[in-house]
């Protein structure tokens, strides 16, 4: 199944803050690689709900499902936080 690539938040202009995240572990990773495929299930101007499925790279066996809800914060509204952190 082909997976497209699209940014949910704009790099440098916004950031995402985790509101809720849940991980369901289905099996252990003992060796080899894994592949993570993430899908935006729903997105508004300020919220995004993502689902990530992690599969075994060799067998495509589903190993883990992660769902999360994230709040999208524009950088323009949090300039005071950047000043306090010494980022500017």
Which domains, ranges and CATH numbers included, belong to the chain? 14-85 (3.10.129.10)
- Cβ(66)–Cβ(21) below 8 Å: yes
pTM: 0.69
List the beta bridge partners of residue 72.
16
pLDDT reported for residue 87: 47
Q: Looking at residue 15, what is its pLDDT?
A: 84
Q: What's the pLDDT score for residue 78?
A: 45
Q: Phi first, then psi: what are they for 64, rounded to 5°?
A: -160, 145
Residues 56/63, Cβ–Cβ less than 8 Å: yes
pLDDT the model gives residue 4: 56
* Pair of tokens at residue 66: 């992660």
Interval 3-59: pLDDT, tens: 455 566 666 677 889 999 999 999 988 889 999 999 999 999 899 999 999 999 999
Contact 74, 14 (CB under 8 A): yes
């Amino acid at each position: 199944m082909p997976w497209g690539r699209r940014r949910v938040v704009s790099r440098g202009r916004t950031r995402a803050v985790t509101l809720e995240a849940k991980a369901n572990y289905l099996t252990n990773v003992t060796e080899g690689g894994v592949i993570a495929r993430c899908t935006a299930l729903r997105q508004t101007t300020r919220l995004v709900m993502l689902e990530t499925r992690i599969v075994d790279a060799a067998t495509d066996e589903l190993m883990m499902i992660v769902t999360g809800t994230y709040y999208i914060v524009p950088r323009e509204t949090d300039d005071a936080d950047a000043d306090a952190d010494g980022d500017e």
